[in-house]
Chains A and B, each alone.
Chain A
Amino acid sequence: MTAVDLRGAVVLLGGFPALAGVDLSVERGDIVLVRGPNGAGKSTLLHLCAGLLRLSKGNGDVLGCDLGADRAAVRRRVGLLGHDTALYGELSAAENLQVWARASRVGETDVPGALERLGLPPRLRDVPTDRLSAGQRRRVALAAIVVRRPELWLLDEPHAGLDSSGRQIVDSIVEAAAAAGAAVVLASHESGPAGDLATRTVTMAGGALSEGMAQ
């Protein structure tokens, strides 16, 4: 089943074409790496797939929902890890995830398990997240996605700021999600560890998929 189907997707940001006619298809169970230099449009592509940006031209469906008319439905079913963590700094990791779980209408009971799975030590779970390191905050942000169990995972530079154990945890979570039937789109400026994880790689430059899809 197709999770992402973009056809000639154009996104203009302040008149500038951040995405310039992108065609992309991602099936459930796929782990697709979108590789490209800074400013290539990778983050814009992920935000579009998350229903956070409007299509300026072209068409697109995500999880069967039209990106033009039903972005709210898309947003309810995806998990997005961006450059920022979308955490409230004054709240602890556990509190952030509880708020997120209640807002997303998923079980709060999964919160401790998700934090444990991401390797956040118990002593840090009740510490305000603005006192955690960048890598630890990133783990909490990933735990929020784990709690939600989305059908489409959109991870921007998923290994950024993580140590080797963190990277291994991310890899295992991504593989488990894909094995469970979710689609995963990773964005990275380098092939690196994300390249080893991907089942398919596409390359972006100047807002376009410049090299098509390579196995």
Chain B
Amino acid sequence: MTAWRELSRFTGDAVLVASKDLRIEWRARTALGQMLPFAVLVLVLFGFALDANRPTLRLATPGLLWMTVLFATVVAVQRSVAVESADGARRMLLLSGMAPAAAFAGKAAAVAVQLLVVEALLVPGVVLLYDADIESVPLVVATCVAATVGLAAAGSLLGAVVAGVRAHQTVLPILLLPVSAPVLIAATRAFADGFGTVAVDGWPWVALLAGFAAVNAVVGAVVYGPLLEDT
């Protein structure tokens, strides 16, 4: 009964933080207003860079798409950090007495929702722009979910690490991009199968993505409290 109550409280707090962040983002439209045009621009510019060569673009589609998502993650996490930094708002999370792990889960969930929105527009975008074909919808969807959870968890964790750093906007990409390299590699491989561009089994790569997400979620839930206190 106590465990059930704890779980219910944890879920309630996480939903509270996530809905708060999403409501703020919906009002400000800072992250999505930057992320979506930025992501589309990157895809179009990659197209120019590769000389609009359809076979090459089709082959490079998975990598280009996940590079774009990675850049969008940086923008979303920077915004997530900024929300708590403005006017000492982070103090609300600390003084409220909610479990730091729940706050972390809520912050990461809000980032994940925004990334999923971006991906939901980017995937049809590459189908149109790069003439790519989706051969396995379940694989593409599973890859998006697992990779997004991993990116959101790793990003929220590193966002908390750099929150107290004066130059956090420049430090965050330096930390996040290398840490996210496994996601880039695994998601690209899985998408290569999902888009039928390379003969590879994508599901083991999805399992790797799920493992990355689980590790970052657990580490983030454990260390978010001390990080929140120290910033």
Contacts and interface: CB of A to CB of B under 8 A. Distances in A.
Nearest to B88: A84
Contact of B20 (A80, A85, A99): A99
Q: Is the interface of B mostly helix, strand, loop or mixed?
A: helix
Interface string A85-108: 111111100010001101111000
B91 A103 contact: no
B96 A103 contact: yes
Nearest to A71: B229
Given A50-B95, A52-B94, A52-B229, A99 B16 contact: yes
B166 interface: no
Given A52-B229, A99-B16, A103-B13, A87 B87 contact: yes
B interface bracket (residues with beta carbon within 8 Å of A): 20 to 34
Given A84-B87, A102-B16, A91 B94 contact: no
Contact of A91 (B23, B90, B96): B23
16 contacts: A52-B91, A75-B95, A76-B95, A80-B91, A82-B88, A86-B87, A86-B91, A86-B92, A89-B86, A90-B28, A91-B23, A91-B24, A102-B12, A103-B97, A104-B95, A105-B97
Interface of B: 12-13, 16-17, 20, 23-24, 27-28, 83, 86-98, 229
Given A52-B94, A91-B24, A102-B12, 7 more contacts: A52-B95, A76-B95, A78-B95, A85-B87, A90-B27, A103-B16, A103-B96
